[in-house]
Amino acid sequence: METFLASNLIRPALYQQPLENGAVKCLLCPHQCVLYEEKTGLCHTRQNRNGVLYTLAYGNPCSLNVDPIEKKPLFHFLPGSKILSLATAGCNFKCLNCQNWEISQSSPQKLRAYDLPPEAVMELAGENNIPSIAFTYTEPTVFYEYVFDTAKLAHEKNIKTVIVSNGYINEKPLQDLCPFLNAANIDLKCFDTHLYRKLTGGSLEPVLKTLKTLKEQGVWLEITNLIVPTYSDSAEMITSMCKWLVDNGFEDTPLHFSRFFPAHQLPNLPPTPIKTLLAAREIAQTAGMKYVYVGNVPTLGYENTVCPSCQKLLIERTGFTVNKNFINEGKCMFCHAPIPGVWQ
């Protein structure tokens, strides 16, 4: 694949509303940026040109890899398979702890990118016999048109699609995308509106709405909660989050607590203490969450899937590798209890 400086690939954006004096309102995410002539949105991917909003992030991924699906993380979705993973530059959050800030806080006009329209993504997945595609690393919402066209094409070709997202998207674009999505991992950053704003620049409510919509629409869902010391490590807040999840029918949804390592604007915070992660796991299980994992600490052994009915080990993982899998046709091989997920 050739690389090129992706400065001239622009397409009209979906979900826009013209305003007076040549301004345009972007209706893609809850920020609802109002953009005047030549201005670019908070996400760096949408620009007003002559009163029309264009996306600058189409067919020009700056990151492209084949990953183990466990890395997304998705633990109940085609375990042990590979996933073609891509991202354009840009994000609608400004997370203090972002590990990919060099690409998420940049613009498609500034980074070198692959020339990879949706048809080429299909070819790449097909040639390499990869069963699914992930829109990940940055924020898929901000390259929505590229995600949508690729996911629609993938759907026709029986290739599965996944978003790894902050969930900060308006209801209409999410509803429109759902029929072409097979799975999502949504980052639920914390469970406090004020802290959400401080940590990410976004807000909590739209993310909760996204979780509900994905579930209602039958998209396989897993949730990640990165525990950042002094920001999202309060036991009370984790308790409230888990209570909300159980009260809203998410007890079968895999919940991944993830360990923070110093990054971006939080270089001086320590990694999340192991005892905090274990306490969070305990809280979630006590609240009624059935599949709770602890990520970014492979030696801990809490990345295995255990049958909630007979307590037998079902999937043994080391890091991103699946060592053993005792799930057969979506059921525990020992007690035959159904285990929710997409297994083949």
Complete DSSP assignment for 27-78: -SSTT--EE-TT-B-TTSSEEEETTEEEES-SS--SEEEEEEGGGTT-SSBS
92 binds ligand SF4 (CB under 6 A): yes
Which token pair is 227? Answer: 């525990």
Nearer Cβ to ligand SF4, position 200 or 272?
Answer: 200
C-beta nearest to ligand SF4: residue: 41
**Closer to ligand SF4 at the Cβ: 136 or 305?**
136
Closer to ligand SF4 by CB, 29 or 307: give it: 29
Listed ranges 39-47, 190-198, 215-223, 261-269: which one lies at the site for ligand SF4 (CB under 6 A): 39-47
Q: Which is nearer to ligand SF4, 59 or 68 (CB)?
A: 59
Between residues 41 and 167, which has the closer beta carbon with respect to ligand SF4? Answer: 41
Asked if residues 151 and 42 have their Cβ atoms less than 8 Å apart, the reply is no
Residues in the chain: 344
Can you name the residues that pair with 318 across neighbouring β-strands?
321
**Structure tokens given for 254:** 């895999």
| Interacting residues with ligand SF4 between 159 and 218 (CB under 6 A) | none
107 near ligand SF4, judged by CB under 6 A: no
Report in angstroms how near the CB of residue 221 gets to ligand SF4 at its nearest: 22
Q: State the nearest-atom distance from the C-beta of 270 to ligand SF4, in Å.
A: 32
Question: In the sheet that 34-35 helps form, which strands lie side by side, from edge to edge?
Answer: 16-18, 24-26, 34-35
H or E segment at 292?
strand 292-295
Of 46 and 76, the one with the shorter C-beta distance to ligand SF4 is 46
**Buried b or exposed e, range 211-223, using 16+ CB within 10 angstroms:** bebbbeeebbbbb
Binding residue (CB under 6 A) for ligand SF4 from 6, 9, 24, 46: 46
DSSP readout, 230-284? TTS--HHHHHHHHHHHHHTT-TTS-EEEEE---BTTBTTSPPPPHHHHHHHHHHH
From residue 14 to residue 33, the character string flagging contacts with ligand SF4 as x (rule: CB under 6 A) and all else as - is ------------x-xx-xxx
| Prior bond of 338 cis (ω within 30°) | no
Tokens of 86: 């891509």
> What minimum distance in Å lies between the beta carbon of 45 and ligand SF4?
6
Using the rule CB under 6 A, is 42 a contact of ligand SF4? yes
Q: Tell the residue number behind the tokens 């002094």, with chain if given.
A: 230
CA distance 229 to 226: 10
Calpha distance 80→331 (Å, rounded) = 17
Tell the smallest beta-carbon distance from residue 138 to ligand SF4 (Å): 12
Number of chain residues interacting with ligand SF4 (CB under 6 A)? 12
Min dist CB 336 to ligand SF4, Å, is 46
Q: Output the smallest distance, CB 31 to ligand SF4, in A.
A: 4
CB of 105 to ligand SF4, least distance (A): 12
* Interface pick for ligand SF4 out of 125, 142, 208, 219 (rule CB under 6 A): 142
Residues in touch with ligand SF4 (CB under 6 A) = 26, 28-29, 31-33, 41-43, 46, 92, 142
